[in-house]
Amino acid sequence: MASALVDDPVVQPFDQLDRQLVQALMIDGRAPFSRLAEVLGVSDQTVTRRYRRLRGEGLVRVIGLPLGMRVGLYQSQVRVQCVPGAAGAIADALARRPDIAWVTINAGGAEVACMTRSRSRRERDSLLLDKLPRTRQVTGVSARTVLHLWTGGPGGWRGLNDLTPDQTAALRREVRAGGGEFELDPADRAMLAVLERDGRATYPELAAATGKSESTVRRRLDHLTEEGVVFFDVEVLPVHLGFQVEALMSAAVAPSDLEAVGRTVGSHPEVPFAAATTGATSLLAVVVCRDIEALYEYVTLRLGAIKEVAQLEITPALRTVKRAGLLTDGVRLFDPPAPSR
């Protein structure tokens, strides 16, 4: 989860029940409303009404995504330097590509950062070696291949604490760690095409998309989730949860220390995404804080205590154009959908 810095006075943080519902969905995005209501201690109708309102107003959405490394996606973090005034158009063009996620405008508006999720090396290289360098308004391109993920997939973000440990445990599903590359079949891909738009799509909808029976798609989705191949993310701007600042962090760490440092940084509640990458700064992370002072304290105290971090770069995100799989528009995440489940 990541977001741009938002200073819009009309934006109000969610109330406690909204935050609890968001955190519950981060733990189990497909938990039935009845189960969510039981854990949160409210009625089924209250949970249903809250989710439909938040989703209908374009503030929250559950989406189902494949874990890139498990399904053979080529993932790279790309930074595009632009001429003054061109970042918005370049960011919008990148956001329209289905193989691009997490598009932000950074560094005083002269840089666009994004994550590629290409299905082939040829598709990735076409973007990095051909299309971007030939764009007149692009002055430089750098790319780092994602080698390992510590946080940012199954398991959700640890930055929210509106649920009790007992409530969290009641919602937590067992997911097998590790595992090699997993080959998705055509029915899996058809199911994911639906889940990427609505992670709470009904089993009849998934059955219709795949041509399989409801019981078959239920078993298959349970299997993909338990194996850590598919996970459910919650699209929500952190400003609604009380977090005003988001930044991209790059750190240089010696190879012998990278695993330990990455695990430590990935466990920080301020960090919803942490990965090992190629390049001189081998640790990449997204940092989300309540305000600038909190970001300063995180950098100087939490990161400052990690002596193995030899070099650090913090780049604030000015605007988020695209998240995991959708365009954002101001504080709205997407156009209001049809009535949801």
pLDDT higher than threshold 50 for residue 339? no
pLDDT higher than threshold 70 for residue 331? no
Mean pLDDT, the chain, integer: 87
CA-to-CA separations, 208 to 95, 189, 202, 212, 339, in angstroms, rounded? 29, 13, 10, 7, 18
What's the mean pLDDT in 36-56?
96
pLDDT higher than threshold 80 for residue 179? no
Q: What is the pLDDT of residue 193?
A: 92
CATH number of 16-63+155-236: 1.10.10.10
The Cα diameter of the chain in Å comes to: 57
Share of the chain above pLDDT 90, in %: 62
| Residue 325's pLDDT band (cuts 50, 70, 90) | low
Q: What is the pLDDT of residue 14?
A: 92
- Specify the pTM: 0.83
Q: Whose CA is closest to 129, among 193, 150, 118? A: 118
Q: Which residue has the higher pLDDT, 118 or 42?
A: 42
Q: What is the pLDDT of residue 324?
A: 72
Q: What is the pLDDT of residue 108?
A: 78
Convert the pLDDT of each residue in 220-239 to its tens digit.
999 999 888 999 989 888 88
Convert the pLDDT of each residue in 243-282 to its tens digit.
999 999 999 999 999 999 999 999 999 999 999 999 999 9
Q: Which residue has the higher pLDDT, 124 or 44?
A: 44
What's the mean pLDDT in 114-127?
85
| Residue 155's pLDDT band (cuts 50, 70, 90) | low
pLDDT higher than threshold 50 for residue 205? yes
| Residue 69's pLDDT band (cuts 50, 70, 90) | confident
pLDDT higher than threshold 60 for residue 5? no
pLDDT higher than threshold 90 for residue 218? yes
pLDDT higher than threshold 80 for residue 151? yes
Q: What is the pLDDT of residue 10?
A: 52
What's the mean pLDDT in 188-214?
95
> Can you tell me the distance from the alpha carbon of 65 to that of 324, in angstroms, rounded to the nearest whole number?
8
Q: What is the pLDDT of residue 224?
A: 94
Q: What is the pLDDT of residue 1?
A: 44
